[in-house]
Amino acid sequence: MMSSTQRDYYEILGVSKGALVDEIKKAYRKLAMQYHPDRVSADKKKASEEKFKEISEAYAVLSDSQKKELYDQYGHAGIDSRFSTEDIFRNADFSSIFENFTGGGIFEDIFSDFGGSSRSRGGGGRRRGQDIQLEMSITLEEAGSGVEKEIAYHRNEGCSRCSGTGAEPGSSKITCSTCRGRGAVSSGMGFISFSQTCPTCRGAGVIIKNKCSVCGGQGRIRDRKKLKVTIPPGVDTGSVLRLREEGHYGAGGRGELYLHISVKPHSVFKRDGDELICETKINLLQAVLGAEIEVPTLAGKVKMKVPSGTQPHMTFRLRDKGFYNLRTKRMGDQLVIVDVEIPKKLSSKEKNLYEELAKLR
């Protein structure tokens, strides 16, 4: 991903967090006109390219309602964990922004590098390996404190016999005549170019005449991988962890591993965002006179004071006993809802005492 992963997207475009799509488009267009490499002097072109890509990434995220919602809730962690760089630019509406531009340059490069279905890195059909999607279920306690887990899964590895080339050692390849070794064929109009995988060589850029006897020309074999994964505190059902280059092997680099998290229901606690909620019972005397009671938290039991005159279903707050917020870096609170138990049966002595109390009241 680009360098903008370290900067706030709203700050990059110079808009507020409540900005509407039209305002975001307007801000991006103004910056794009300013930093387009075709509009600056030669000595500023390289810096302008980086700035142009940075503002384009910010626009691609903030102009997409789904990506914007994830970014507003989780920051860059929400985008980086769920989308590859190609995914960020895919489906972004640049056409209405650049409809009056003449000449292409960097805008064409963005789609060539990140938007093509070939998912290549570099030329010559060096295709990136496919991503892997896995699911993991964790307990509420593990979601609260974070946990390290070992996972095992199957992924494609480079073939050791042919070193990932797919060709039998000592044999040669010929350049694909359809794509002329590019691995992709392009089409488009103006400065906007779209690429698709070459149908003849399937993105390899070459044709293998004598295929490897181990991998059958694929350049890869299937293997079992074990990996230790650190689950950060604060994740929730629907959180996605992105593990870079832990996916399938490809000549242009490994794909990503996406770990989809689900949190198991708990018998005592419920979660509401960063807050943890539980119920506890106290007796009538504790409610009337006040008391110090023990209540459960994810880290163990703690003492909590209930004041005299506590009413049924009153809610008390335990500071910093909730969940860590991945975006704000702050701890949520735990809410304790108190249920007052009314005795169903009384001894004769207890009944007399309550009658005396009734006379006093």
The domains of the chain are located at 1-115, 270-360
pLDDT score for 95: 59
* CATH 1.10.287.110, applies to 1-115: yes
pLDDT score for 309: 95
3-state helix, strand, coil in the chain (%, to 5): 30, 30, 45
Contact between residue 196 and residue 144 where contact means Cβ atoms under 8 Å apart: no
Contact between residue 235 and residue 263 where contact means Cβ atoms under 8 Å apart: yes
Name the H helices within 63-195: 65-74, 76-80, 85-89, 106-114, 140-145
Asked if domains 1-115 and 270-360 share a fold, the reply is no
What is the token pair recorded at 120? 């290549």
- Give the separation between CA 32 and CA 17, rounded to whole angstroms: 20
Per-residue pLDDT of the chain (361 residues; tens, 9 = 90+): 444 446 899 999 999 988 898 899 999 988 988 887 767 777 887 888 888 888 988 998 999 888 888 888 888 877 876 777 767 876 676 656 654 444 444 444 444 444 333 344 334 446 788 999 999 999 999 999 999 999 999 999 999 999 888 899 988 788 998 888 888 887 654 444 456 778 888 777 888 889 999 999 888 999 999 999 999 999 999 899 999 999 999 888 899 999 999 999 999 999 999 999 999 999 999 999 999 999 999 999 999 999 999 999 999 999 999 999 988 889 999 999 999 999 989 999 989 998 898 888 7
pLDDT score for 255: 92
pLDDT score for 187: 61
Model pTM?
Answer: 0.59
CATH topology of domain 270-360: HSP40/DNAj peptide-binding domain (2.60.260)
| Rg, the chain, Cα only | 30
